[in-house]
Amino acid sequence: MTDKQIRTIRSFVKREGRLTHGQQLALDTQWPQFGIDYSAELLDIHAIFEREAETVVEIGFGNGDSLWQMAQAAPEKNFLGIEVHRPGVGHLLRLIENSGCKNLRISNQDAIDVLQQQIPDESIDRFQLFFPDPWHKKKHQKRRIVQEEFIQQIARKLKPGGIFHMATDWEHYAQHMLKELNDSPLFSNLSADNTYVPRPEERPTTKFEKRGQRLGHGVWDLLFQKK
């Protein structure tokens, strides 16, 4: 898959819901401090956070609840969240404002564009991809974000020994991700049996995930390390 293809085949449908008054207010007041505007220039990660620290990037954080919890639980780390849906961005900015969280920054842009244009090579300690759209219909599976070119891009941006953590509640997508990463010469599977891992303690259980568990749905976590 070429760079041109990965830019034009989107892994998401941008269903832009209505912003609440609080979300819009948070966007207006908090974005200048915690938002990262998109440009075709590399970011200075240390300057953005005003310190040198382990940096975690989450791709597609949804409403941001779990990312905010992780940032609160690990103030010694830097967290950068990427999400295309503005209501989710507004919700996370409200959480930041109300809690005084200082170690979290947000990009409201397609993650592929951010990876290609803004994230420096070998600058990130950990990437997170939790519950991405599984595109379960066969004709749509070309839209799945976890493809060979995306994996190569993640590897380029991770520091040596960096971690790629994925989670999904769709078993077929879990199998797809497992195969793609196991087949990659760039990563090593950190599970004991070369499959999945128990949910790492640092990943909070979301309301959506708890509801699925009550209905008997499974969740699969995958943990890979850059070679």
The set of catalytic residues is 133
**CB-based burial, 102-114: b 16+ in 10 Å, e otherwise:** ebbbbbbbbbbeb
Token couple for 42? 């590399």
| Angle subtended by helix axes 86-99 and 21-34, to nearest 10 | 70
Provide the strand spans (E) within the chain.
55-59, 78-82, 104-107, 124-130, 158-168, 187-189, 220-226
Task: Phi first, then psi: give them for residue 161, nearest 5 degrees.
Answer: 85, 0
* Amino acid residing at 182: N
Distance CA 155, CA 161 (A): 10
DSSP string, 92-152: HHHHHHHHT--SEEEE-S-HHHHHHHTSPTT-EEEEEEES-----SGGGGGG-S-SHHHHH
Bridge-based pairing state of the strands 55-59 and 78-82: parallel
